[in-house]
Structure 1
Amino acid sequence: MTSLLRTEAHARAALLDVTGYTVHLDLDTGEETFESTSTIDFTCREPGGSTFLDLDAVRVHSITLNDDPIDPSRIDGRRLTLTDLPERCTLQVRATMAYSRDGQGLHRAVDHADGRHYVYGHLFLDAAPKVFACFDQPDLKAPYDVTVRAPQDWIVLGNGDPTRTSPGEWRLSTTKPLATYFVTVCAGPYVSVHDEHRGVPLGVHVRASLEDELREQAPQILEVTKQSFDYYDQLFGVPYEYGEYHQVFVPEFNAGAMENPGCVTFRDQYVFRGAYTRNDVMTRSSTIAHEMAHMWFGDMVTLRWWDDLWLNESFAEYMSHRTLDAATEFAESWVDFGIVRKLWGYGVEHTPSTHPVAGGEAPDAASALMNFDGISYAKGASVLRQLIAFIGDEAFVAGIRAYLAEHRHGNAAFADFLSAMERSSGTDLQDWAQAWLRTEGRDTIAVRLDERDSDGEVSSATVTVRSPQDHPAHRPHRVDVAGYAGEATVLTGETTAWAGQPATVEVTASGRPDVLVPNASDLTWAMVELDPATQAALPDHLASVPDDPARVVVWGALLDGVRTASVDPRHVHRVFMQAWPLERSLTILATVPRHLGPPVLSAVRQEEQDGIRADRAHAAQQVLDRHQPGSPESLVAARLLAATTSDTDLLRAWSHGEQLPVGLESDDDIRWAAVTRLVVLGEAGDREIDAVHEQDRTMSGDRNALRAKASAPTDAAKSWAWQQITEQTGRSNYELNFLATGFWRTSQRDLLEPYVDRYFADVPAMVQWVGEDALQRVAELTFPWPVVTPATRDAADAALARTDLSPAVRRAMVDARSHLDDALRSLERFAG
C-alpha cells in the first residue's frame, strides 16, 4: 500500500480547496461488505492541474467528475489520478467496501453473547479511503453531510446530530469542517443512556449485552463528562461547537479511545463487567477528559501534517490529568500519571526507536504513525508541565486561548503554538524548544548531601544533571529534593538545574534521611539515580515514605535500574516483596506488578523464575490478609494471586466460582485467570476451559478461551495457536492479541524455542491482511521474549537487516530486541 508522502500532501493542499462531502453508506447489504457513495465538492486553484483521489474499495461501480464518467480501471492501488481539472468540481464515486476485522476503517464485530452485530468507524490514520472516496490528509478539512441505511433495529450515530428519517434510514446533520480521519459512523443495536448539560445533548452507548453495566456506570461517566465540559469551557474561552456529544463504547477497538468530534469512540472494556476499583474508574475518567480536550485541541484546530500531531496528544494528556485534579474527585490523578503514563514513556525513551517529542518531519503518513507512543503522550505532557514552570500558568492559558482563536476550525503547526506561547509570555522559547522538544533522550538527575551547619545538620545539597552523551541538550529542570526517615519528611529543597551545571540546593532539614529522592514531586522528565545508601535502605524503608509521588519516582528508578542492568533484579524483587504489600496508594499497588513483572522475570535465570512467582503469590496473599475483604486492594491482590500461585486446589475452586474472595463472586475474569493458570501449570485443558467458557458466552469469554487454549504446555496447543495467529483465519485484532498473550510463557521456554525462527518468518508476512495499527501490537506480543538467548538476538538482527519489513513490524522488532538485550546484559552481570 502506498503511503501518502508529505510532499504529495503539500502539493494537493496547494491545488485544492475542498468545500464539502456528501456521503451515503448502506450497511444493510450483508456481513462482509457495505455500499458507499461519496460526492466531493471542491475547487481547483490552478485549472488544468492534476492530483489524485484516495479510494480503497472491493469494487468500484462508477466514477463521475462533473457528470462525466471516469473509467474505474484507472485506479492504481488506492489512488485515482485526476487530470485536467476544471475550476469547480463535483466528483462522485459509488463503490462496494469491505468491513474490517483489524480495527481500522469500518470495523464489524459480532457479540456472541446474543449474536448481534456492531459497526464503528475508526479512520485514523489513513483508513478513511476504506469507507468513502476522499482526499485523505489532515489539512483538507471540509463539512460533511452523511446519510446511512442500516437494519431497522439498529441506531446510527456519527459526527453530526442523528435523526431517523424513516425505518432504517438516518441523516446526520451537517458538521463543522473536519479532517478525514475524524469522520466516524457507529451503527448497531447499541443501548443508550441520554442526558443534557448546558444545552448540549449527551449520549452514552454500548452493545446490548452490557446494558446492565451501562445503567449502573453511566451516572459516573456523565458526571465526569459534565465536569470536563465546565472546566474546558472556562479555561479555553471558546465554547464546544459540535452539537450533540456522544460517547460510544465499541468492541475490538485498537486504542483507548478516538476523539471523533461529537462522537467519541472508546474501547468497551471501559464499561466494566464484574469487579472494578476506583483506580479503574479514574483511568476511564482520564480517558474521557483526554478525548474531550481534543474537541478544541486537535478537532477545532487540527495540525497540518502528521509529524506535529504529537502536540494534540501531549496537550490532551496533560489536560486530562490537570482536569481530573482540578475539577473531579480524583485528586490523585498525577500519581496515576507518574506510575502509569510516565513509566510507559520512559520505556519507549529507553529503546532505539525513541525520538524527539517534536519528532522531525515525517516523510509519509506511515512513518508518522510509528511516533504515536509514550513519547508523544507522556513525555510531551511532562514537557508541557516544565513549560508552565518556565513561563507561568497564566501565560500558558493565555497562549492556548490565542492559539485556538486564531486557528479556529482550521489547521496549524507547532510553530504557531510556540509563537502563541512566546507572545503570551514575552519569552523567546526557541532554545527551550530545541532542548526539550527537538532533542531526544532523558537526562539523569542525582543528588548528594554535602554541607553541615555548626550543629552537624545538613544545610545544603548538590543536584547534578547529566545529559545523554549521544543526545546532548541544555534542558532546565525545575526539581525538588526530599529526604525521609521512617514516615517523617526530614529534608526538603527546590532548585532549577541544568545539564553540566551542578546546582546547590538550600535545604530545610530536621534529621538525616534514610531515603533521599531527587525529583521527589515527579515534576520533570528524567532518569533518577539513587545514591547507594538509599538503594540499600529501600527494602526496609520504601513503604514508609509518606509522599506518593516520591514512591512513584523510586519505583521508576528501580525499573530503569533493571533495564540498564545497573541494579540487580533480585534486589528489585526484594524491594517488591517488602514494600509492595504495605503500599498505601491503590494506583501504585495496582500498577507496580505489571511494570516490574516481565522485566524482572526475563532478567533472571529460568530456574529462579518459579521462586519469584511463588514470592509474588505470597505477597498477594499478604495484601489479601491485610485489607478488608471486598476492598479495592483485595481485588488487586486476588488478581495477582490467580496469575502467580501454584496452589492448584485454590485455582480449581476459583475456576469453578467457589471460595472466591468477597467482591469477586460473580466476576468471570477471575475465573478465567484461575483456569488459565491451571492450564499453564499443566493441570487443566480444553475440558476445563470449555466449562468456564460455557458460563461466559460473551466476547470477553471467547477471547479468554483463546488465550487459555494457547497457554497449554503441549506441542499440539502451540501449533494450533501459531496457525491461528499467523495464517489468514479471519481472526479479529483482539483475538490475535489474546492468542499471542497466551502463546509465549516464560515457563515453557523449551517448548517455544522452535517458534523463534518462525516468528521472524511468519509475522512480517501478516502485513498482507492486517493493518499497520493492529499489526504493530501483534508483532510486539508475538515476539519470542521468553527465549532470552544470544541466538534469539542474532535471529532478530538478521530479520532487521531485511528491507521488506513494514514500518509497524520493524518498530516492534527493534523495541523488543532492545528489551531482549537488556535482559541478556542483566544476566551476564548478575546471574552468577
Structure 2
Amino acid sequence: MSTANLSRADARARSAALTVADYVVRLDLRGAPDPDRATFPTTTTVRLVAREPETFLDFLGPVVHGVTVDGREVPVDFDGARIRLHGLPTGVETTVTVRAEGAYSRSGEGLHRFVDPVDGETYLYTQYEPADARRVFANAEQPDLKARFTFEVLAPAPWHVLSNSAPERVEDVAPEPGSPDDAAPDDAVPARRWTFAPTPPLSTYLTAVVAGPYHRVEGTWSVDRADGTRLEVPLSVACRRSLAEHLDAEEILAITRQGLTFFDAAFGFPYPWGTYEQVFVPEYNLGAMENPGAVTFTEAYVFRSAATDAQYQARANTILHEMAHMWFGDLVTMRWWDDLWLKESFADYMGAHASVAATRFTDAWTAFASRRKAWAYRQDQLPTTHPVVADIPDLEAAKQNFDGITYAKGASVLKQLVAYVGEDAFFAGARAYFRAHAYGNTTLPDLLGALEGASGRDLGAWSRAWLETAGTSTLTADVEAGGEGSADDGARVSADDGAPVIRRLRLHQAGTDPATGAEVLRPHRLAVGFYDLEGGQLRRSRRIELDLTEGTTTVEEAEGLRRPDLLLVNDDDLTYAKVRLDPTSLRTALAHLGALPEALPRALVWSALWNATRDGILPAGDYLAAVLAHAAREDHVGTLRDITAHARFAVEHYLPPAARDEGRRTLFEGAWQHLERAAPGSDAQLVWARVVAAAAASCPGAAPRVRGLLDGGVVVAGLPLDPDLRWALWQALAAVGDAQVGELDAELARERTAATRTSHLAALVGRPDAEVKAEAWRSLVEQDALSNDEVDATIEGFTQPLHASLVAPWTEPYFTSLRRLWEERSIEIAARLVRGLYPGQQGAAVLARTRAWLEANDDAPAALRRILLEEEDDLRRALAAQTSGTSEAGR
C-alpha cells in the first residue's frame, strides 16, 4: 500500500505517539488568476507534543522546500505523501514548520481552481473529505487528531475570502524584497492578507478556504436562550458573480433560519461556530460539504433553468443535512472512518426530519422513501455491502464508503430507532451526547450509551441486529381468507359486502448477512395498512402497528377483518426492509395504484414494484406499463421523477434485448402523451419534458418532434424551453445522429456558461461516429487534461445506449487500463472512469471478462476491486431480469 493511503493501523499508532495543539496555515493565492501558475506557496506551523521521536505529517504536493523543528532547519524526508520527522524531543511542546508548494486542482480534490467562461474570473474553493487537506497544507490527516486552526490567506485585493471562522484582520499588503510575499508575479494585482480567528478544535478534513470574486448576500439569525442571553449568528449566501441573477438568496436564508431555530431547540447546544456562510461552488464533486461555518454546495442548487418543487425540496434537505453536521460530525466527530455513519446517517435522517418539522416541505419523508431508500436497497444487495458500522482499513476504503448504506440505510435505521425508543428519548440522548463529547471524537458505544441513558432501553441487541450486520430484510404477508380456496372450518368467510374475510395473517421476515451467510432477524417496529377500493379510490380502512422480531409473526388483530384489496406491509415507512406485495395486493397495485390518494403509501407501493423489477420477479415491461398507466395521477413530483427514471433504466437494462427497441418507443410515446396532457407550466409538465428528452436519445423516430420543439414547429403550451431543457433535447438529437456540429456550436453561442460548455461537450461526444468515440477514449484514458465535470460529460456522451457497437472496440482496452488509471489518477477521477466506462452494455461476455480480471488481479487495490465487483453484480442482475417471464399479475 502506498504511503498516500493511510491505514487505520498507522493512524492509531500516530494518535498514540502524537498530540496536536494548533496549526497556523499560510496560503499565498495571489498567483491563482495566472493560468500558467500550477502551484501556490503553502506554509504550515504546527505545535505538537511527541511521545516518540519518530512520526510523520501528511502532504500531497509537488515539492517541500524546507522543514524546521523549533526554528532549526532539518533535512527534508518527503516521499510525495509523507514528511517524516526524526529525532523530535519527546514529552515537550515542539513547533514544526513546513514550507511547500501545493498544486491547484481540477478534480475537485484539495484546492480547486475554476475560470468562469462568462467573465474570465477565477474562483477557488477547498474540498477535503476524507483526506485531501494534505493537498493544501501539511498536517496529521486523521479525524481524531483535532486541533485549533488559524488561517492566513494572501489573495488578490478584489476577492472575498472565507474560512471556518470570521476574519480578525483584512489588510492590504505589498511585496517586500526577500519575503515569501515576493513569490507573487511582478505584475500581480494589489493583494490583501486575510487573517481568520482561531477555530475551536477541528479535524483537518473539516477546514476550508473559499476565495474569489464571489457575489454575497448577508443576513443574520438570532435566538433568545433560556439563560437570558441572546445568540446572534451572521449568515451569508454566495455564488459566482455570473450566477448572481439566479441566486434566490432569501429563500435559502429562510430555510437556514428555520433550520437553526429547530436544531438549537432540538439539540440544546448553542451553534458553536460563530458564523454560518453557505457558498455554491463550480465543478463540485458532492452535493455539499459540512465545513463548520463555511458550508459548500454544488452549483446545481442555483437553478438557472426551471426547477420543480422536488428540486427545491432536495435543496432544503441538503441545507438541513449539512446544518445537522454542525453538531453531528463537526462538534462531535468519529474517531476513525469505521464510524462514518455517526455523522452521515444522522445528518441524512435530520435532513428529512427537520424539513417536516420546520419548513414548508412537509412531504420530505415521501421523497426519502422514494429516492434515498432506493439507493440504500441497491447498495445493500451488492456483494460489497457492509454493516452500517463498517470495517474501514484505510483511506481508499473510506472514500468508497460514502455510499447508500452509510447515508440512506443508516438514516432509515435511525428512523426505526426513533420508532423503537420514542422521539423524545432520541433527542434527549442526542443532547447528552453533545454535552459529553463536545469538540471530541467518539465511537459507537458512546452514542449507544447516551441513547440508552435517555430511553432506559438496552440497545446492545438492537445495535447488533441493525448496525453490525449487513443485508436487507424482506417482508412478506401470507393472507389466508375465506373464499380464497381455504377449507371452511365454520368461521365466517365473507364480509357483509361478500368480500373474503381474513382467517389468518402472518408476516414473515427473511434476511441473510452476505458477508457471513448467517440468517439475520431484526426487530422491526412497523405498521400494516389495509386499503380498500371504494368510489374509485384506495382508502386506508385500518392500520395495525406491531413488533416483528421473529421469522414469522401472526397478526391476531387481523383475524375476522375484511380481506383488503391492498395490504401494505410497512405502511408509514417506519422500518427498513424490502416489501413483497402478496398476489392480491400486487394485482390491485398494477391496476389501481393511481387510486391511492396519499403520497407516502403510493411511494411505498412504487418502491415495492421497483424492487420486484430489480429482483427479476416483476417483468420490466409490467413496471413500464404501470408507470405509463398511473403516472398521470402521481401528484408528488419527486415520486414522479423517480418512477420515470426507473422506467427508463428498466427499458435499457432489464428488458430483453429483442424487446428493447419497442420498449424505447413505448416509453417515448407514453411520455409524449403525458407531456401534451400535463397542465401548462406545471412541475409534472417539466418532468415529462425531461423524460421525453431522455427517451428520445434512444429512439431515432422521435427526432422530428424533438427538433420541432427546438425550432418552434411543435409548441407545448406553458413549457419553458430554457437552457437545461434545450441542451437535453440537443443531446438526444446528437445521440441519434440528427444534430450537426455547427448546430451544436450555434446553440452554445446562445449562452456560453460553464453548464452549457459541458452540455455541448456531452452532445459532441454523444454523436454516433467511430472517430468521435476514439477521440473521447483518448481524452479520458490516454490523456489527463479534463476537469471533473468534463470527465463526466465525456463519459455521458461516450456511453449513449444506442452506441454499444460503436464502443465495443474499447472493451478490452478498458480492462487493460484499469490498474494504470488507478495508479496515475486521483481516486476521485479514477473512480469516475472505472465506473463510468465499465462496458456492461456489451452483455454477458463482459461478465466472464470481469471475473477473469478479478481473479488475475487479486492484489489490486481493494477500492478498485470493489467497483468492479459492483459493476459485475449490476450486470448479472440485469441479465437475470431480462429472462423473467410475464408475471401472473401482468397477464
TM over 0.5: yes
With 489-498 and 369-378 compared, the bigger mean Cα shift is at 489-498
* Equivalent residue, structure 2, for 1:785: 840
State the shift of 1:760 in Å.
Answer: 1.7
2:634 matches 1:634: no
* Equivalent residue, structure 2, for 1:298: 329
SS at match of 2:737: coil
* Equivalent residue, structure 1, for 2:42: 36
- Cα deviation 1:780-804 (Å, max 9, x = unaligned): 222122222x211111112222145
* Equivalent residue, structure 2, for 1:91: 96
**Fraction of identical pairs, as percent:** 38
* Equivalent residue, structure 2, for 1:247: 278
- Cα deviation 1:705-747 (Å, max 9, x = unaligned): 1111121111011111111211223101111111112211222
Given candidates 283, 289, 296, the residue that maps to 2:314 is: 283
Given candidates 815, 835, 854, the residue that maps to 1:800 is: 854
Given candidates 718, 736, 750, the residue that maps to 1:681 is: 736
Q: Is the 8 A contact 2:221 2:233 kept in 1?
A: yes
- Equivalent residue pairs, number: 825
* Equivalent residue, structure 2, for 1:82: 85
* Equivalent residue, structure 2, for 1:461: 505
Consecutive unaligned residues of structure 2, counting only runs of 5 or more, are 173-190, 223-231, 483-490, 496-500
* Equivalent residue, structure 2, for 1:21: 23
Q: Using a 3 Å threshold, how does the CA distance of structure 1 residues 637 and 449 change in structure 2: closer, same or farther?
A: same
* Equivalent residue, structure 2, for 1:560: 611
2:258 matches 1:207: no
Query: C-alpha separation between the residues in 1 aligned to 2:741 and 2:787?
Result: 22
Query: C-alpha separation between the residues in 2 aligned to 1:816 and 1:437?
Result: 25
* Equivalent residue, structure 2, for 1:126: 131
SS at match of 2:123: strand
Q: Equivalences for 1:624-703 in 2 at 5 Å?
A: 624-645=675-696, 646-656=701-711, 659=714, 661=716, 664-665=719-720, 667-703=722-758
With 803-812 and 744-753 compared, the bigger mean Cα shift is at 803-812
* Equivalent residue, structure 2, for 1:411: 441
- Cα deviation 1:320-367 (Å, max 9, x = unaligned): 10000011000100000011100011110111111111113x222221
Query: C-alpha separation between the residues in 1 aligned to 2:377 and 2:512?
Result: 14
State the shift of 1:288 in Å.
Answer: 0.2
Query: C-alpha separation between the residues in 2 aligned to 1:447 and 1:498?
Result: 15
Q: Is the 8 A contact 1:745 1:786 kept in 2?
A: no
Q: Using a 3 Å threshold, how does the CA distance of structure 1 residues 815 and 499 change in structure 2: closer, same or farther?
A: farther
Query: C-alpha separation between the residues in 2 aligned to 1:658 and 1:405?
Result: 65
Q: Is the 8 A contact 1:539 1:576 kept in 2?
A: no
* Equivalent residue, structure 1, for 2:549: 498
With 336-345 and 511-520 compared, the bigger mean Cα shift is at 511-520
State the shift of 1:662 in Å.
Answer: 5.0
* Equivalent residue, structure 2, for 1:176: 200
* Equivalent residue, structure 2, for 1:10: 12
State the shift of 1:152 in Å.
Answer: 2.0
Q: Is the 8 A contact 2:366 2:603 kept in 1?
A: yes
Query: C-alpha separation between the residues in 2 aligned to 1:656 and 1:510?
Result: 60
State the shift of 1:674 in Å.
Answer: 0.9
Q: Using a 3 Å threshold, how does the CA distance of structure 1 residues 622 and 506 change in structure 2: closer, same or farther?
A: farther
Q: Equivalences for 1:393-792 in 2 at 5 Å?
A: 393-450=423-480, 454=492, 456-457=494-495, 458=501, 461-468=505-512, 470-484=517-531, 485=533, 486-487=536-537, 488-507=539-558, 511-645=562-696, 646-656=701-711, 659=714, 661=716, 664-665=719-720, 667-788=722-843, 790-792=844-846
SS at match of 2:576: coil
SS at match of 2:284: coil
Query: C-alpha separation between the residues in 2 aligned to 1:306 and 1:759?
Result: 31
State the shift of 1:194 in Å.
Answer: 0.6
One-letter amino acid matched to 1:702: R
One-letter amino acid matched to 1:481: V
Q: Equivalences for 1:103-118 in 2 at 5 Å?
A: 103-118=108-123
* Equivalent residue, structure 2, for 1:64: 68
* Equivalent residue, structure 2, for 1:386: 416
With 192-201 and 682-691 compared, the bigger mean Cα shift is at 682-691
With 659-668 and 487-496 compared, the bigger mean Cα shift is at 659-668
* Equivalent residue, structure 1, for 2:369: 338
State the shift of 1:509 in Å.
Answer: 8.7
Q: Is the 8 A contact 2:709 2:715 kept in 1?
A: yes
State the shift of 1:158 in Å.
Answer: 1.0
One-letter amino acid matched to 2:576: W
> TM-score, normalised on structure 2?
0.90
Query: C-alpha separation between the residues in 2 aligned to 1:508 and 1:673?
Result: 54
Query: C-alpha separation between the residues in 2 aligned to 1:251 and 1:768?
Result: 26
State the shift of 1:664 in Å.
Answer: 4.7
Look at both structures and tell me which one has the larger radius of gyration over its CA atoms: 2
Given candidates 389, 393, 403, the residue that maps to 1:363 is: 393
SS at match of 1:754: helix
With 431-440 and 550-559 compared, the bigger mean Cα shift is at 550-559
One-letter amino acid matched to 1:4: L
Q: Is the 8 A contact 1:741 1:782 kept in 2?
A: no
Q: Using a 3 Å threshold, how does the CA distance of structure 1 residues 545 and 200 change in structure 2: closer, same or farther?
A: same
Q: Is the 8 A contact 2:15 2:144 kept in 1?
A: yes
* Equivalent residue, structure 1, for 2:183: none
State the shift of 1:496 in Å.
Answer: 1.1
- Cα deviation 1:456-498 (Å, max 9, x = unaligned): 2335622111122724223111112223324122443222112
* Equivalent residue, structure 1, for 2:229: none
* Equivalent residue, structure 2, for 1:149: 154
- Cα deviation 1:177-209 (Å, max 9, x = unaligned): 110000110111111111111121101111111
Q: Using a 3 Å threshold, how does the CA distance of structure 1 residues 592 and 685 change in structure 2: closer, same or farther?
A: same
SS at match of 1:489: strand
- Cα deviation 1:362-388 (Å, max 9, x = unaligned): 222221222210000111011111111
One-letter amino acid matched to 1:754: P
Q: Using a 3 Å threshold, how does the CA distance of structure 1 residues 443 and 136 change in structure 2: closer, same or farther?
A: same
With 569-578 and 504-513 compared, the bigger mean Cα shift is at 504-513
State the shift of 1:647 in Å.
Answer: 2.9
With 326-335 and 646-655 compared, the bigger mean Cα shift is at 646-655
Query: C-alpha separation between the residues in 1 aligned to 2:842 and 2:162?
Result: 47
- Cα deviation 1:486-526 (Å, max 9, x = unaligned): 41224432221124132315249975433322112222111
SS at match of 1:359: coil
Q: Is the 8 A contact 1:581 1:622 kept in 2?
A: no
- Cα deviation 1:216-275 (Å, max 9, x = unaligned): x11110011000000000000000011111001111111111100000011111111110
Query: C-alpha separation between the residues in 2 aligned to 1:567 and 1:499?
Result: 27
2:355 matches 1:351: no
- Cα deviation 1:57-90 (Å, max 9, x = unaligned): 2122111011111222x21231122122112211
Q: Using a 3 Å threshold, how does the CA distance of structure 1 residues 721 and 499 change in structure 2: closer, same or farther?
A: farther
> TM-score, normalised on structure 1?
0.96
One-letter amino acid matched to 1:50: E
Query: C-alpha separation between the residues in 2 aligned to 1:639 and 1:444?
Result: 33
